[in-house]
Structure 1
């Protein structure tokens, strides 16, 4: 790791593996049964960063992750134990404590270290563990749709002093992320760059071929013994209200907003999934670690309940996630649970071999958006256990994770988390806006209410018609389309149906202030080009059966007419998306404004001729 000043003059220090030469004696490890996991205390008596030490002592041989390769790899799967993760984190944490040069008073206020890096999942998670164990505040930044001004806003509003990332070497062409990082450093003079290590620096054996078994004794010799995190100045007078991590919002309604997460909040959030997942393998391949779900499942769950993550094996080239790649990785990693985007579930539902594999899972979980009813019903009929995962960065888990499903046909509904205290505000048509109340049993990260500590999610929920303890998500209040006659359209249920069509990658309805609603369609990848009226008409006819199906559940004023279907040329622009992959409606509407205006003008002209 190299410390770079804001003027980009590198000050090269010792390698991560040499950090032990300036510190204390090596850690020792004890052995434990591979099939058992010693649960750490859940009462907050051990600060989360100190759990690395706990697992090194109590669960050294327990698998933190199973690394899979998509190639015909002679090494097959590689297991990374808690001992290996803890020691890699200790070495980097020791290095960080030598690099960060601030006063004890500044340390007590919490040193913010941002992470802005395109790297493999294992390395990224180790960066987070290392920042924690060094006593600092980790701030993962999205590498998706992250323009320099938005990042600058986040850095300055959080008083972040350091960023782990990289800039291009002199004379080499920079990547877009390296350009963004360089711009960020130029605009924030107080920000210092820490060049992130590669996986070979943290886990040297993973760069060898064939990969040798983990040598715990050798690794221990090269690992410093860190003082307990509670002895650091950062933790002097620490309470559970101190900030441990910062995440940020998706930026769908403006600049990204920083969301500080206290020890109190994360002690709950990391344990909110329950111990039913202990000693199981979870697969979130394709989900970024900087997203809240990635943090909760890839950092929190393994440390608190002993889940084992299925990850892609680090390599010189990044694996580009796709439905096929994720499913193959899940199979090779022998996952028990697979969490995926609804679009991936829709793609798998069209292939019998994929569905056959999904039936072997304890659960296929989806989140981040609605799953088309046809898709979910089809999967359930084939025997797939489908579960809706619903939570928010600001409030953690909202739906309880219950894997013993009595009524699989109600796959889109779930119970509220048992510790959740909620207020439901009626919004009409059996829809309720959810407000989560801050309590000791279910704390929230931030409040957006003035008179009470609570968070208005702006999400719409619908209650099950007969099983009244069940709820399902039905979009957002912000997404409601208010037409010129003041009628309202909730786009979520209709878009969910359209997104189940194999020829549609994504759909987004529009029509605020108009006399009729329309829909923009982003064609699926196999649709090559739509360049003339003939190919447009052909594509509209291709998807029309599902448009009609969506119209059957819509009130009269919300029905879609063929003339108001805007098809995005696959060779041209696409919908803009938030860091978690959902459509950024405001940005996309602005991007398509001229095309939407032209569509309505053509429809109006056609109406006059009729």
Structure 2
């Protein structure tokens, strides 16, 4: 039987500094190791330092998963080293205390309860300061209140809480914020300066600050001293543990430090994983050395639902719960199955007080807490009701850090009932106050819910309950004056309840199925003021409350797969934001589904479907997080099929290949198709945009079908247009070229690609080629997450090619990735399928690409489909404008030249290709007679990063060249503000690659076959000075330059020939955006207008004079109105004229944006002009203006061309949409 270890004896008083004391005891040869072993820590940091030098310093003491449940062990010495690194890192933000006279600062920590969180907490302690452990579940106002009330000076946060931290710090000018660092990636060797802290003073300082829940108002800080904390931690079981509690809860942090204090390893649950039975079991079964589990009752409930879980718990020496009471049925079941269940009771303000630790073989009363002898003198139980007592801790208890009474005692507001026969044994009953603690530890305030219910005139009284239950419930006592039936009363209150639910946390929601009515004459105890005595009510109606939570009898429905999918989708659609689509493979939690909603859906399944409730675990939705997975599991349970073990990834890849490899043969249809009609997916990406623009400009191409994820044709068109504009391609496409582009909303996972019957038939009748470039770029998703949309989508596109009503199938060209072969063992990747599925990089993205490569080969061999795999390498900015996404990793490296002042000297030989060259190569191969198979679209001319690239970058950037590890060090030491220093966001990613001295594996790619069919690829040269200048010039325009930068005003020039509708569009823009309008024609000189009236074309002298007047009018109007933009009508037919107006930026800092209204229907323009009465421009001048109109040149990226031949409303809507995108201030 496990017993508590003896308390470590107190050390002799010492005035020596903490660090010196430890170091001396280690280094002095005349000081025996036994003295060090007996040393008692006086601060949290001294505890860590001691354990790093005492016996067992090379044995694991903390274990945390690198990913999933794959744990990494850390010894005390490693832990100490990580703390030192983090402390050095944070010391630039939080100054180290070097003497006990230095002021102690409070530093908030907001983040997931992971290893970096723990290390950061310990680093703050090492710097001599106090950590404020902030819950992630409270409001921004609560965070602000706590930081303010504790006079915090800094806030550390995880990336996912950046928005919260930014908003909070914006209200607190004295608080600095910085991201929580990953200490494992920080450079080793750096050390803090020696500190001269006096232990006797330090032990009384605040070690950390926890806070109350804030369920009845703003949370209050609760201060923990080093002395009180360490006393609590000394009371431990001395067992290897597994903790599922967050470290920002006092029970969680106590359990962790108890293990460290006892020199026993503690496994910390992965904060990135949901609390699910499969994750708990994985750790317990994979680590038999774990002897004690610390968790909330909810975790025990999950494990108790399976035989496997019960067995895992039964082998442990102790299973300890805390945070809330364990439901009796669950606890009884655990104990009956041999689990040594121990209850723990304590509070942040007073530490651990009682447990139900006992002789487990003889005593099965797990829910009766025993008063330990050393606590008994400080315990006072005060009567609060019939056989109900409030626990009060009196002055003198060593772990007590707060008081709420004049005599120094602390009243806990927790109610207990005494054991009928066993002395000093108490069972927790409920809170004295109104807070309801749910079974998952969340604290809900029932007063708000009751107040909403009582507001209804049909309700006399309402009582909300739910202590230690999964969700809230309520009893309603009907008003004596109402004539409504019970169900009608509930209907009457629901609108107000639904409105309330929208404004409170999910765990505080009340649902209709959890509301019951009591008789109008129901009896319950009240105070003198007439209010319900909550504790007494709960006791009187305990059986009715329990009945409401009992699992109801299972339903009887047995549905087909499609019907079941439809039912579950419908149920979840009620719980996600309006307008959000749910696909069968969508991870429901990525849509915001929370734990309460998961419980509600589980209840729905049990009530309606023919399943045994005990087989639908409490964590059912977490364990099967997609509609498809839930459907599969329900059908398995209904048919009695055994659960399948998950296969290895290569087997799963093989199964997926087999699943999608049953291709039908093409049926030839004699039909003549003029020109090429090409389907392109991924047109909203960089490569796709270049492919679309290139195809549209080719005379042989008649139609480019862009299949886009969008809600409507209009949305699809807007996405394609925006993509072309962002890559500076749209402005050079002529009207006839743009008319070739057809954008349709699509869903690749559907058999008909989500198209209408007419659209799909049009493709079948015309398509000659398919370029499949679209793919989900998410390197965290598993292989299966790419199936329904990506892999199935590729198969559906191949089916389209095979179904075409033409003489031969449409050619299918699949854009794969070099990641599909990244683990090729040899030095060269051939232009062929890899020999093994294991050659794919270890992520679902690469594996799914390789699966699809296999499908292409199978389709080609079995059906004759001209299926080609275009395996693409690293893509960079285009050769004309250098446009490259500045958020990608390599541009981020370049940016450190600006933000850090240095670039790394990497020993790498990249083989980059500009995106426009990759697009050309893909088109050349796709439209050639190249055979089916694989080709590597990789530059055959590599270069060296340091010898070749850095000198080119130096032509456009100023930087110092440093080694890769030194670059990482400087990046870590640079500004932590991601707005000022965007590369800091990728510091951990960069460190994983470059914070080492290991030689990087380099693969070359065979490209002979690809170059044989692609002249562009054959002639592609190495990256040169001209290209790098363009790239850096573009990136510099994207890089953040400081808060002082203000968007310049813009002159929106609405141009085009006469009759194109310039004035109509300009006036619409003026009205929509409330900006001034200048009618350009009114600024023509009298002589010029007379010329045009006489059908005499204006010469350049006339136009230049007119353009000068326009520039002056624009400057005057923007100066006097201070408007963000002005709309000007001006034909602006030639590039030279547009250049004249562009001088506004050089002269006055005014940017220009040209909206050019174009049409090739001269007759319509003349008809419009003929209808204008009194206008000086005669219709006969139309031909002259149209002939003068010049298409935008390559450099004119500020030109937005619009087809003006459409309906006026369509033209206006398109222009307004373009302006909104181009000028965000509007």
2:380 maps to 423
- Say if 2:328 is the partner of 1:373: yes
Alignment of 1:128-147 (within 5 A): 128-144=121-137, 146-147=138-139
Q: Deviations over 1:393-445 (max 9, x none)?
A: 11100114635435442110121243321111112221101111121x53311
2:194 maps to 227
C-alpha spacing 1:556/1:244, structure 2 compared with 1 (3 Å): closer
Task: Please report how far the alpha carbon of residue 98 of structure 1 lies from its aligned counterpart in structure 2 after TM superposition.
Answer: 3.9
Alignment of 1:154-303 (within 5 A): 154-165=146-157, 175=160, 177-198=161-182, 200-202=184-186, 222-224=189-191, 227-228=194-195, 231-232=196-197, 238=201, 240-271=203-234, 273-274=235-236, 277-278=237-238, 280-285=239-244, 287-298=245-256, 300-303=257-260
The whole-number CA distance in structure 1 between the counterparts of 2:473 and 2:398 is 34
C-alpha spacing 1:404/1:368, structure 2 compared with 1 (3 Å): same
Does structure 2 conserve the Cα–Cα contact (< 8 Å) formed by 1:363 and 1:403?
Answer: no
Q: Deviations over 1:196-240 (max 9, x none)?
A: 2125425x8xxxxxxxxxxxxxx6xx2526525xx14xx598254
The whole-number CA distance in structure 1 between the counterparts of 2:332 and 2:537 is 18
CA RMSD for the aligned pairs?
Answer: 4.5
The whole-number CA distance in structure 2 between the counterparts of 1:159 and 1:106 is 19
C-alpha spacing 1:409/1:507, structure 2 compared with 1 (3 Å): farther
1:4 maps to none
TM-score by length of 1: 0.66
C-alpha spacing 1:468/1:157, structure 2 compared with 1 (3 Å): same
Q: Deviations over 1:119-151 (max 9, x none)?
A: x5222111111111111111111112x221111
Does structure 1 conserve the Cα–Cα contact (< 8 Å) formed by 2:65 and 2:270?
Answer: yes
2:398 maps to 442
2:471 maps to 506
The whole-number CA distance in structure 2 between the counterparts of 1:251 and 1:454 is 22
The whole-number CA distance in structure 2 between the counterparts of 1:84 and 1:477 is 45
C-alpha spacing 1:552/1:105, structure 2 compared with 1 (3 Å): closer
Task: Please report how far the alpha carbon of residue 51 of structure 1 lies from its aligned counterpart in structure 2 after TM superposition.
Answer: 2.2
- Say if 2:296 is the partner of 1:330: no
Task: Please report how far the alpha carbon of residue 563 of structure 1 lies from its aligned counterpart in structure 2 after TM superposition.
Answer: 10
The whole-number CA distance in structure 2 between the counterparts of 1:474 and 1:561 is 14
1:53 maps to 49
- Say if 2:409 is the partner of 1:454: yes
C-alpha spacing 1:305/1:105, structure 2 compared with 1 (3 Å): closer
The whole-number CA distance in structure 2 between the counterparts of 1:270 and 1:561 is 37
Does structure 1 conserve the Cα–Cα contact (< 8 Å) formed by 2:82 and 2:183?
Answer: no
C-alpha spacing 1:487/1:447, structure 2 compared with 1 (3 Å): farther
Q: Deviations over 1:52-96 (max 9, x none)?
A: 22122214213112345776x9xx653210000001111222333
Task: Please report how far the alpha carbon of residue 507 of structure 1 lies from its aligned counterpart in structure 2 after TM superposition.
Answer: 4.0
The whole-number CA distance in structure 2 between the counterparts of 1:563 and 1:349 is 21
Does structure 2 conserve the Cα–Cα contact (< 8 Å) formed by 1:369 and 1:582?
Answer: no
C-alpha spacing 1:418/1:261, structure 2 compared with 1 (3 Å): same
C-alpha spacing 1:510/1:126, structure 2 compared with 1 (3 Å): farther
C-alpha spacing 1:582/1:418, structure 2 compared with 1 (3 Å): farther
TM-score by length of 2: 0.34
The whole-number CA distance in structure 1 between the counterparts of 2:348 and 2:537 is 34
5+ unaligned residues in a row in structure 1: which ranges?
A: 1-24, 31-35, 168-174, 205-218, 500-504, 523-531, 541-550, 574-580, 584-610
Q: Deviations over 1:336-367 (max 9, x none)?
A: 11122212222322211211121101111112
Task: Please report how far the alpha carbon of residue 474 of structure 1 lies from its aligned counterpart in structure 2 after TM superposition.
Answer: 0.5
1:81 to 49, 63, 75: 75
1:16 maps to none
2:39 maps to 41
C-alpha spacing 1:514/1:266, structure 2 compared with 1 (3 Å): farther
2:345 maps to 390
Alignment of 1:593-608 (within 5 A): none
The whole-number CA distance in structure 2 between the counterparts of 1:564 and 1:312 is 29
Q: Deviations over 1:468-487 (max 9, x none)?
A: 22111101111499999999
The whole-number CA distance in structure 2 between the counterparts of 1:270 and 1:257 is 23
The whole-number CA distance in structure 2 between the counterparts of 1:366 and 1:84 is 30
Aligned pairs, how many? 465
1:347 maps to 302
C-alpha spacing 1:513/1:258, structure 2 compared with 1 (3 Å): farther
Task: Please report how far the alpha carbon of residue 268 of structure 1 lies from its aligned counterpart in structure 2 after TM superposition.
Answer: 1.6
C-alpha spacing 1:95/1:465, structure 2 compared with 1 (3 Å): same
User: SS state of the match for residue 435, structure 1?
Assistant: strand
User: SS state of the match for residue 307, structure 1?
Assistant: coil
C-alpha spacing 1:411/1:156, structure 2 compared with 1 (3 Å): same
C-alpha spacing 1:373/1:39, structure 2 compared with 1 (3 Å): farther
* Structure with bigger RCO (C-alpha 8 Å, 6+ apart): 1
5+ unaligned residues in a row in structure 2: which ranges?
A: 1-22, 29-33, 436-445, 481-485, 491-496, 502-510, 517-535, 553-570, 577-593, 597-1226
User: SS state of the match for residue 99, structure 1?
Assistant: coil
Q: Deviations over 1:499-553 (max 9, x none)?
A: 4xxxxx434445699899x9x9x9xxxxxxxxx99xx69x99xxxxxxxxxx999
User: SS state of the match for residue 51, structure 1?
Assistant: helix
2:108 maps to 114
- Say if 2:268 is the partner of 1:311: yes
The whole-number CA distance in structure 2 between the counterparts of 1:187 and 1:304 is 39
Does structure 1 conserve the Cα–Cα contact (< 8 Å) formed by 2:295 and 2:322?
Answer: yes
User: SS state of the match for residue 402, structure 1?
Assistant: coil
Alignment of 1:458-537 (within 5 A): 458-479=413-434, 496=468, 499=469, 505-509=470-474
Task: Please report how far the alpha carbon of residue 293 of structure 1 lies from its aligned counterpart in structure 2 after TM superposition.
Answer: 1.2
The whole-number CA distance in structure 2 between the counterparts of 1:401 and 1:563 is 29
Task: Please report how far the alpha carbon of residue 313 of structure 1 lies from its aligned counterpart in structure 2 after TM superposition.
Answer: 6.7
1:149 to 132, 137, 141: 141
C-alpha spacing 1:309/1:106, structure 2 compared with 1 (3 Å): closer
